[in-house]
């Protein structure tokens, strides 16, 4: 399997990350990355040897303790103390795929040579990524400014032989896991603890995972929406290109084109129209799905920029002979984007649930609740309740985190992004939307059975057939929770982009 090389000269794209996540290929530091890291580290230590002016976090305390001077013999211990004291995470464990992404993204940020770390430190992060030696990190504890301090402390404690890791299904003390590879704990030097803890890699890892899943959801929504349109007896006229040429939002145009392609060749579209106009949840798919796609495009741009950024503090510029303290750790760009992501995905779920509701309502020659003997059987009555409840929860979760702030560190850190909270709730919304769309898919396929012998397009019939291998027709009442779970799993895993 080819190796991905971390290089400051090669931007890290979402497409590259999707490939890395899909095939698990190993990564390595490029020669240029090692040279940049080494040059920065050497510059910092040469400067400290000849210049004792205060430099935040290197020869001073942290946060509101910035005015406390740290003597040279204590500076290494300062970095260790920082790592231990800031490991204050709580709540649920961060999913292991997110932790692995955090390791990669932290190594990428260090590769630009503005953080002052040793090459060995960055290489250990890469080795942990490749070995899938994944630190135990907790969801709660970050304010999203000064970086994701608590989560990143837990991420990096194992570099010192501290904390815990997950490895091959076991939860181990980091020191015990390191011994499996004959790894010695690293001895942190000036600035290293701060470089490891400052940064946005916690919220960024969630954002990367979220954007990739949301893009898949957007593709799924178009296909499932087209299936529902067919099953409901809907009309393709609202997707005509002439309508969208006069309101040419990129996402709207893209979705309308996609729906036309998906419905092309359908026998059902050739049947007499059942109503003059369809409800908005069918007719306005290009406008609603398209707006979410446009929002996701903005979020993707922010996330890719952050993937190729240096987000610790202070930052070192060897060529300019500068060490500058600033605020690149502040998560506001990601916090706003993650809130936008949450709303965009929630809307895909909201309009999906409305299509589900229309399909079970007994309209257009479909039986109530899509079962042959309603009354004796409740059919698909309650899956719509489930979808409605989840949609309502998503609305509650869409309250933006990025408008919130709270003062910390004795007023020194007086405005924070809350991007970490935006990240974790965006993930919850995405998981919810996957289930909502799964319920619509189950409902649309059930309704399509009542249109037989009429056939949809070849593309949509192929999706129907693939889904039927996972979830059978509901001929009479049965326990449906397993079907709902299977439907959500199908939404997550099916290759929607390849439906043609």
Same domain, 173 and 227: no
The last residue of one of the domains, among 199, 225, 251, is 199
Percent of the chain topping pLDDT 90 = 85
Same domain, 249 and 185: no
Average pLDDT over every residue of 438-461: 98
Average pLDDT over every residue of 85-90: 95
| 70: confidence class by pLDDT, cuts 50, 70, 90 | confident
Same domain, 159 and 294: no
Which residue in the list 43, 56, 206, 369 is annotated as catalytic?
56
Q: Into how many domains does the chain fold? A: 2
| 60: confidence class by pLDDT, cuts 50, 70, 90 | confident
Same domain, 342 and 420: yes
Q: Residue 408: pLDDT above 90?
A: no
Give me 198's structure tokens.
């400052």
Same domain, 115 and 225: no
Q: Residue 221: pLDDT above 80?
A: yes
Q: Residue 66: pLDDT above 80?
A: no
Mean pLDDT estimate for the chain: 95
Range of the domain at 177: 4-199
Q: Residue 115: pLDDT above 90?
A: yes
| 53: confidence class by pLDDT, cuts 50, 70, 90 | confident
Q: Residue 14: pLDDT above 80?
A: yes
The last residue of one of the domains, among 150, 176, 199, is 199
Same domain, 109 and 94: yes
Can you give the pLDDT at residue 455? 97
**CATH number for position 284:** 1.20.200.10
Can you give the pLDDT at residue 56? 75
Give whichever of 221-225, 270-274, 310-314 has the largest mean pLDDT. 221-225
Same domain, 155 and 224: no
Q: What dihedral do alpha carbons 51, 53, 54, 58 form, nearest 10°?
A: 0
Can you give the pLDDT at residue 423? 98
Is 56 assigned a catalytic role? Answer: yes
Can you give the pLDDT at residue 79? 85
The last residue of one of the domains, among 141, 175, 199, is 199
Q: Residue 75: pLDDT above 80?
A: no
Give the pairing of strands 4-6 and 27-29: parallel
Same domain, 217 and 252: yes
151-177 per-position pLDDT tens digit: 999 999 999 999 999 999 999 999 999
Same domain, 379 and 273: yes
Same domain, 223 and 179: no
Same domain, 12 and 48: yes
Can you give the pLDDT at residue 42? 96
Q: Output the 3-class SS for the chain.
A: CCCEEECCCCCCCHHHHHHHHHHCCCEEECHHHHHHHHHHHHHHHHHHHHCCCCCCCCCECCHHHCCCECCHHHHHHHHHHHHHHCCCCEEEECCHHHHHHHHHHHHHHHCCCCCCCCHHHHHHHHHHHHHCCEECCEEECCCCCCCCHHHHHHHHHHHHCCCEEEECCEEEEHHHHHHCCCCCCCCCCCCHHHHHHCCCHHHHHHHHHHHHHHHHHHHHHHHHHHHHHHHHCCCCHHHCHHHHHCCCCHHHHHHHHHHHHHHCCCCHHHCCCCCCCCCHHHHCHHHHHHHHHHHHHHHHHHHHHHHCCCCCCCEEEHHHCEEECCCCCCCHHHHHHHHHHHHHHHHHHHHHHHHHHHHCCCCCCCCHHHCCCECCECCCHHHHHHHHHHHHHHHHHCCCCCCCCCCEHHHCECCCCCHHHHHHHHHHHHHHHHHHHHHHHHHHHHHHHCCCCCCCCHHHHHHHHHHHCCCCCCCCCCCCHHHHHHHHHHHHHCCHHHCC
**CATH number for position 35:** 1.10.275.10
Same domain, 150 and 246: no
């Amino acid at each position: 399997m080819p190796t991905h090389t971390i290089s400051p000269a090669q931007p890290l794209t979402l497409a590259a990350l999707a490939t890395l996540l899909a095939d698990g290929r190993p990564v390595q530091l490029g020669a240029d990355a090692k040279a940049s890291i080494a040059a920065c580290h050497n510059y910092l230590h040469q400067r400290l040897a000849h210049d004792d002016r205060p430099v935040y976090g290197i020869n001073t305390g942290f946060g509101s303790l910035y005015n406390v001077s740290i003597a040279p013999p204590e500076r290494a211990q300062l970095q260790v103390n920082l790592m231990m004291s800031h490991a204050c995470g709580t709540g649920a464990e961060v999913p292991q795929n997110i932790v692995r992404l955090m390791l990669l993204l932290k190594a990428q940020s260090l590769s630009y040579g503005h953080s002052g770390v040793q090459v060995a430190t960055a290489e250990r992060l890469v080795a942990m990524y490749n070995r899938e030696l994944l630190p135990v990190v907790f969801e709660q504890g970050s304010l999203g400014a000064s970086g994701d301090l608590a989560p990143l402390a837990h991420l990096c404690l194992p570099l010192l032989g501290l904390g815990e890791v997950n490895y091959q299904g076991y939860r181990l003390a980091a020191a015990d896991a390191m011994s499996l590879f004959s790894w010695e704990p690293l001895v942190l030097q000036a600035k290293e603890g701060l470089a490891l803890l400052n940064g946005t890699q916690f919220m960024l890892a969630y954002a990367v995972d979220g954007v990739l899943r949301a893009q898949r959801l957007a593709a799924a929504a178009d296909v499932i929406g087209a299936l529902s349109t067919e099953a409901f007896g809907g009309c393709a006229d609202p997707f005509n290109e002439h309508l969208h040429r006069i309101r040419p939002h990129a996402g709207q145009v893209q979705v309308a084109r996609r729906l036309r392609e998906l419905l092309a060749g359908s026998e059902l579209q050739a049947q007499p129209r059942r109503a003059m106009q369809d409800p908005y949840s069918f007719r306005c798919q290009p406008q609603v799905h398209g707006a979410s796609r446009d929002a996701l495009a903005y979020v993707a741009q922010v996330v890719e920029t952050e993937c190729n950024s240096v987000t610790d503090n202070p930052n070192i510029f060897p060529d300019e002979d500068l060490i500058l303290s600033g605020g690149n750790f502040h998560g506001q760009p990601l916090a706003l984007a993650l809130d936008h992501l949450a709303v965009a995905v929630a809307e895909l779920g909201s309009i999906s649930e409305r299509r589900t509701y229309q399909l079970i309502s007994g309209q257009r020659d479909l039986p109530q609740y899509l079962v042959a003997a309603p009354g004796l059987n409740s059919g698909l009555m309650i899956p719509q309740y489930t979808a409605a409840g989840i949609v309502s929860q998503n609305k509650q979760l869409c309250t933006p985190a990025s408008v919130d702030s709270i003062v910390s560190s004795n007023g020194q850190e007086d405005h924070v992004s809350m991007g970490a909270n935006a990240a974790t709730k965006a993930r919850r919304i995405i998981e919810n939307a996957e289930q909502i769309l799964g319920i619509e898919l189950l409902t649309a396929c059930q309704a399509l059975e009542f249109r037989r012998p009429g056939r949809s397009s070849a593309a949509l019939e192929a999706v129907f057939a693939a889904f039927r291998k996972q979830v059978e027709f509901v001929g009479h009442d049965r326990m449906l929770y397993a079907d709902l779970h299977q439907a959500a799993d199908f939404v997550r895993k099916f290759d929607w982009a390849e439906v043609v």
